[in-house]
Amino acid sequence: MGIECTSFHNVAQKSYDDLLNETQDIRNTIEKFTDEDRKKNRLRLKTIIYAVRWCAFPAIAFRDHNERPDSINKGNFLEMLEAICSFNNELKELFCTAPKHASYTSPTIQKEILNLISNRVRRTICDEIDDGVIVERFFRLVHVPDTTSQTLKNRIYFLLIHNNLDFKSICGQGYDGASNMRGHFKGLQALTSKDCPSAYYVHYFAHRLQLALMATSQGVIALQKFFFTKLSFVINVVDASSKCSDQLRDA
């Protein structure tokens, strides 16, 4: 059984031999990188981070169906990289000669960078809360196995505690009209109110805000139409007055 090259004994023996081989030590591999290599990798990574931020801020798609080099549209992320490199030949050469393990253009790297950015944003939001500044922010999207009030409460509390936020400091709640949210006895607002008496519940707060914004925007449009009509009237009057003055002058 131990004669076959794929036997457990031979695999263990090879792993042992590789461990004792100092030439394969990861420290030796890292030390082979020069300061110039590290500088190039940092510049390449900074460019990647800029492209990721550029796509994330307006919430546009990163990838496209065809990202091959001969594709007309490789997607917003790769197209942005090409646009940046088109202004700098040195940077363009840097990406063309990048090793496969350090190109940083894979979707996995994009997600890691986005995760780091989102963590930084959440830390900033937590700092604002610690300073006592009440500002409405989107914090995080959390997936749950079900939508029972107890499950939702546990996930919310876990999220707050994980970010060093005291759930007893909740000062307001706003949910839709579903029974698992607004129920007076077993709803999420009731469970939260038991732990946080100061967490005042407002029914459909987000929807009310939406209605208020819609009403305000409609008022702005009506106001614009009002001023546009008045402005057109003034312009017509001025234009008519100018014609009359010209006619009198010619006479």
Per-position DSSP letters for 31-46, written without gaps between them: HTS-HHHHHHHHHHHH
Higher pLDDT, 177 or 93: 93
Residue 126 lies in a domain: no
Angle in degrees, CA 160, 132, 140, rounded to 5: 30
Per the domain annotation, does 154 fall within a domain?
Answer: yes
Q: How confident is the model at residue 150 (pLDDT cuts 50, 70, 90)?
A: very high
Do both 178 and 99 map to the same domain?
no
Mark whether 77 and 31 lie in a shared domain.
yes
Query: Does residue 127 lie in a domain region?
Result: no
- Count of structural domains within the chain: 3
**Which pTM does this prediction carry?**
0.57
Phi and psi angles of residue 87, each rounded to the nearest 5 degrees, phi first: -95, -5
Backbone angles phi, psi at 200, to 5 degrees: -70, 135
Do 178 and 229 belong together in one domain?
no
Flag whether pLDDT at 11 surpasses 70: yes
Contact indicator for 94, 81 with CB cutoff of 8 Å: no
When pLDDT is cut at 50, 70 and 90, the band that residue 31 belongs to is low
> Do 191 and 239 share a domain, yes or no?
no
CB-CB contact of 1 with 7 (8 Å) = yes
Q: In this structure, are 164 and 100 located in the same domain?
A: no
> Where do the H-state alpha helices sit in 57-163?
76-85, 89-96, 107-130, 149-162
Higher pLDDT, 16 or 160: 160
Residues 86 and 170 in one domain: no
Range of the domain at 241: 215-251
Whole-number percent of the chain with pLDDT over 70: 72
The number of angstroms, rounded, from the C-alpha of 102 to the middle of its chain's C-alpha atoms is: 24
The CA distance from 119 to 132, in Å, is 20
Top-ranked range on mean pLDDT: pick from 23-37, 66-80, 170-184: 66-80
Residue 191 lies in a domain: yes
* Residue 99 main-chain phi, psi, to 5 deg: -70, 160
Radius of gyration of the chain (CA): 31
**Token pair recorded at residue 206:** 């987000």
Within a domain: 125: no
Residue found under tokens 């496209």: 64
Provide the mean pLDDT of the chain.
77
Task: Confirm whether 123 is domain-assigned.
Answer: no
pLDDT at 152: 92
User: What percent of the chain is helix, strand and coil (3-state, nearest 5)?
Assistant: 65, 5, 30
> Torsion angle, CA of 80/81/82/83, rounded to 10 degrees?
50
| 84 and 104 part of one domain | yes
Token pair, residue 134, equals 């009440």
Answer yes or no: is 132 within a domain: no
Same domain, 14 and 108: yes
- Pair 76, 47 in one domain: yes
Does residue 61 sit in the same domain as residue 100?
Answer: yes
**Separation in Å, CA 78 to CA 50, 71, 95, 219:** 12, 11, 11, 42
pLDDT in tens, 156-176: 999 989 888 888 888 888 887
- For the chain, give me the number of helices (H) and strands (E)? 10, 2
In a domain, 37, yes or no: yes
